[in-house]
Amino acid sequence: MKKCAACLKDYPQDTLFCPYDGSRLTDLNENEPYINTILDNKYRIDFKVAEGGMGNVYRATHLHLGIPVAVKIMHTDLLSDINSIERFRREAQATMQIRHTNAIAVLDFGVTNNNTVYLVMEFLEGCTLRRRLREVARFSISDTNWIIQQVCTGVHAAHKRNIIHRDLKPDNIFLQREAGEEIVKVLDFGIAKLKNQIEEQDRMLTRQGMVVGTPHYMSPEQCYGKEVDVRSDIYSLGVIIYELLAGVPPFDADTPIALAMKQATEAPRPIYEINPDIPIDINSIIMHALEKNPDKRPQTVMSLAQELENASNRIYVYMGRSIDSKQIDIEILSVDTPAINNILSNEAYPTPQSFSLQHLPKPNNQSFNKPDQNNQLSKINTNELPNIDLLVNQLPDIVQTMMKDLSGNISELDKTKQKTNKKTTKTYPVNCEICGQEVGRSLVENSTIICPDCRRNSRKMQQAEL
């Protein structure tokens, strides 16, 4: 019999692929000495589910509790390496300190009488983010935000305990299926650094100048073999966000050394050049996380998470309509009016929160007519109501223009007022980032956007490359 490591279904020996998820079936139990054995008088090893550099992962059953668990058994050829055993133990130590919903839970660690080193974790059903990325090619902004928010929460829990992961990548992020829903889990703290707590041990395990991590996701300071802190994990998260939205990582090369050089010295290509559906503000957030200088990145993972959350949920108000960030550049170019930026606050784009009560003028202190005690209707005196025209006139000019464009009814008196009391609003050209052509006007200086022609050309080039 063969078993699918993803869905855990059994198939005949002559079956090559899982008919449900397309995974290649392998006889994971072939030549496996631990299958159907009892480990440390507590765990019955059922079958192998994954292989790793430090050890193999098996699905096992806790004999006393009757629950499924994942047991990671260290490779026998590493048992003579004291540093490898220490890293294995440190994975258990680091993960057990975190205890968070978005980090895999470690339940036990031990060494048997015959020197079998093992680590017991909660058993997860689902797939890695790497596998999901292969299936969908790219993620939407909302799905990316949903995943990254949970990853950042789990990593933040580690950072609060002075634990730096140092190997964040889609392979170490798991999408667990539980009760019909998915929960994101951060895996593999095998090379995590417990800062302050075991720095002396870390210096012994990681020699000065030794590169630790996966080249596609390593920060520049990792590539140089320098001291790292939480901002190194933030850089790795920026690479992951880039890959989820673009379908490819920001850097690639034929050799790990060449890739590390690019990671440390080259600027990443703007993501909207690869995926034209990504707005400029999302690209800015990613580039912020991918700064070469750690001081220029977000200083905490939750700061990065908040930036992405705000950009993903931002609602743009234009001509009285709400449009999301994917539509903003198209919508602005579809009408012959200036782009609305910086209306009532210093925000890059106006949001409904910009129109708060604090911006409304206070009512005038005018004398009111005394209501007629004999007439009930006179209790509602229209003189007590604020002057609507006065309120509108005190709003910013650009808001008044929006209101008039929406109404479509400008009276002759209003037209006369416009001629006599016309206020000029200075606008600036909006140029295309790619071709440089002027495509509109804006209240904000040095505004840029991608014109529809360049978007179409970008899509054609991308399709031609495929």
Residues sharing a CB contact under 8 Å with residue 417, sequence separation 6 or more, in sequence order: none
Q: What does DSSP say about strands 428-432 and 448-449: parallel, antiparallel, or unpaired?
A: parallel
- B/e letters for 210-233, b = 16+ CB within 10 Å, e = fewer, are eeebbbbbbbbbbbeeeebbbbbb
Q: Which one of 77, 81, 167, 397 is the catalytic residue?
A: 167
* Residue 19 C-beta-side C-alpha neighbours within 13 Å: 4
Examine the residue annotation and report whether 143 is marked as an active-site residue of this protein: no
Q: Which residues, listed in sequence order, are joined to residue 128 by a DSSP beta bridge? A: 174
Nearest partner of 163 among 180, 182, 186, judged by Cα = 186
- Answer for the pair 64, 83: CB distance below 8 angstroms, yes or no: no
Cα 345 from Cα 385, distance rounded (Å): 28
Cα 462 from Cα 218, distance rounded (Å): 27
* DSSP structural state of residue 149: H
Cα 160 from Cα 100, distance rounded (Å): 12
Q: Which residues, listed in sequence order, are joined to residue 34 by a DSSP beta bridge? A: none
- Positions annotated as catalytic residues are 167
